[in-house]
Amino acid sequence: MGSENPLAPNALGPTVCVGEILVEIVATTIGDGFRQAQPLVGPFPSGSPAIFIDQCGRMGGAAAIIGAVGNDDFGRVNIDRLERDGVDVSGVAHDPDYPTGSAFVRYRKDGSRDFVYNIATSAASRFGWTPNVASLVDRCGHLHVMGSALSMPSASMVIEQAARIIKARGGSLSLDPNLRKELRYDADTEARFSDLVRMSDVLLPSGAELERAAGVDGEDAAVGRLFEIGVREIVIKRGSEGASCFQSDGTRTHAGAFDVAEIDPTGAGDCFGGAYVACRRLGMPVNQALLYGCAAGARNVTVHGPMEGAGTLDELDEFIKTTRRLK
Ligand code: ATP
Ligand code: MG
């Protein structure tokens, strides 16, 4: 038995995610960066918060997003996809002057990625607290924070306000640190990040993010420290080694990854998180939420495009039935 579910039930209102809505344009060849003309494919709907919430909606979790797009086809690509997958887009602003944000990505031989972003000077970071946002937040039951959004001052402000309101109405909060080497945090952002760690019911780190969130080295010590400061459930994403959940009563649950050929790793963590949070909010136990999270992450890496492999519950059931599981 684990401790009780720290996530507020789906019936309290949608899971809302705040932040960058982007298109992604992907180089079709492996190599270093963008200094020569080259073949590209896209636009794919993207942005960590958008990928997360799209997977959450596809799973049947109540879902909503706050962000902004421009008055252009890149914006429409995103809005169409999110609406199709059941995501409430009433909190998305339409910027008349700035284009939808974009990210160009190219994979290197060693699997690392080069990016060219246009986020800070695009519609993606130009949104704030509007009447539409306020009325959406008033009926949300859970806030999921992507650490990547904290480097945008407007998003940070909305996240802080939404966190306070949603927590006050009995809702819950999850945080995926999602630190990208290309996005440097200043001292203010670091401080906001620490505050959010303390407010989080569930943390979904990968790699070095666990130790960075805890400020302590070593997996066990970091997990222990995070429980001391009030986090109640910690889910560590381990790529092709699956995922593990630590609950504050000491219960540990590991789920092996699925055996897939990785075509495009972008969005695995976001899909994992969207599925995990949706499942927990729908009342599923940790082992079942981990199973769907791992299936969602693995299915998404088998196709090109950051959210093209996000699966419905039926698609994930089929994937689970037909895909070999690693230990
Ligand atoms: P991102 O790189 O998108 O930020 P992340 O580091 O947050 O992702 P990962 O651990 O890479 O998260 O992926 C999340 C989950 O997706 C993993 O726990 C695993 O279950 C599944 N997954 C990711 N990559 C693979 C893979 N190559 N094979 C099988 N499963 C995978
Ligand atoms: Mg990863």
Per-residue confidence at 1, pLDDT binned at 50, 70, 90? very low
Q: Which ligand is nearest to the CA of 298?
A: 1
Question: Average pLDDT of the chain?
Answer: 95
What does the DSSP 8-state code read for residue 258?
B
Q: Is residue 2 part of a domain?
A: no
Residue having the nearest C-alpha atom to atom 16 of ligand 1: 297
Per the domain annotation, does 45 fall within a domain?
yes
In the prediction, which pLDDT does 61 show?
97
Distance, in Å, from the CA atom of 49 to the CA atom of 16, rounded to the nearest integer, reads 9
- DSSP 8-state code for residue 206: B
Q: Quick: pLDDT tens for 76-122.
A: 999 999 999 999 999 999 999 999 999 999 999 998 889 999 999 99
**Ligand 1 site, residue 258, Cβ cutoff 6 A:** yes
Q: Is the CB of 297 under 6 A from ligand 1?
A: yes
Look at the chain and report how many structural domains it folds into.
1
* 87-95, strands of its sheet edge to edge: 87-95, 63-70, 15-18, 142-146, 172-176, 202-203, 233-237, 243-247, 252-255
Quote the ligand 1 centre to 238 CA distance (angstroms). Answer: 6
Indicate whether 222 belongs to any domain: yes
Could you tell me if residue 28 is inside a domain? yes
Please check whether residue 159 is in contact with residue 151, taking contact to mean a CB–CB distance below 8 angstroms.
no
Minimum mean pLDDT among 32-46, 174-188, 286-300: which range?
Answer: 174-188
Instruction: Give the three-state DSSP class for 203.
Output: strand
Using DSSP's 3-state secondary structure scheme, residue 192 falls into helix
How many residues make up the chain in this entry? 327
Q: Name the percent of the chain lying above pLDDT 70.
A: 98
Residue nearest to atom 23 of ligand 1 (CA): 239
> Do the beta carbons of residue 243 and residue 290 sit within 8 Å?
yes
Sheet holding 40-46, edge to edge: 40-46, 22-27, 101-107, 113-118
pLDDT of residue 110: 92
In a domain, 327, yes or no: no
- The answer to whether position 176 is within a domain reads yes
For residue 304, what are the contacts with CB-CB under 8 A and spacing of at least 6? 26, 41, 44, 263, 264
| Pocket lining: 291 vs ligand 1, CB cutoff 6 Å | no
* DSSP assignment of 85-112: TTEEEEEEEEESSSPPEEEEEEE-TTS-
Across residues 225-245, what is the average pLDDT?
97
Q: Which atom, in ligand 1's list, is nearest to the CA of 178?
A: 4
Give counts: helices (H), strands (E), the chain. Answer: 10, 13
282-288: average pLDDT: 98
Dihedral sign of CA atoms 189, 191, 196, 197 in order: positive
d(CA 289, CA 255): 10
Residue 182: pLDDT band with limits 50, 70, 90? low
**Residue 40's CATH number:** 3.40.1190.20
Q: What stretches of the chain adopt beta strand conformation (E)?
A: 15-18, 22-27, 40-46, 63-70, 87-95, 101-107, 113-118, 142-146, 172-176, 202-203, 233-237, 243-247, 252-255
User: Does 2 have pLDDT greater than 90?
Assistant: no
Domain that holds residue 249: 10-322
Tokens of 252: 């540990």
Atom 24 in ligand 1: residue holding the nearest Cα: 239
pTM given for the model: 0.96
pLDDT band at residue 73, thresholds of 50, 70 and 90? very high
Kindly state whether residue 4 falls inside one of the protein's structural domains. Answer: no
Look at 83-97, 146-160, 241-255, 307-321 and tell me which has the smallest mean pLDDT: 146-160
Query: Hey, which of 206, 263, 299 would you mutate to test ligand 1's pocket, going by the most ligand atoms within 8 Å of its Cβ?
Result: 206
Q: What is the pLDDT of residue 112?
A: 87
The three-state secondary structure class of 34 is: coil
In the predicted structure, residue 175 carries a pLDDT above the cut 90: yes
Task: Tell me the chain's radius of gyration from C-alpha atoms.
Answer: 18
Q: Work out the average pLDDT over 23-50.
A: 97
242, part of any domain: yes
Atom 14, ligand 1: residue with shortest CA distance: 269
pLDDT at 185: 73
Q: What is the pLDDT of residue 226?
A: 97
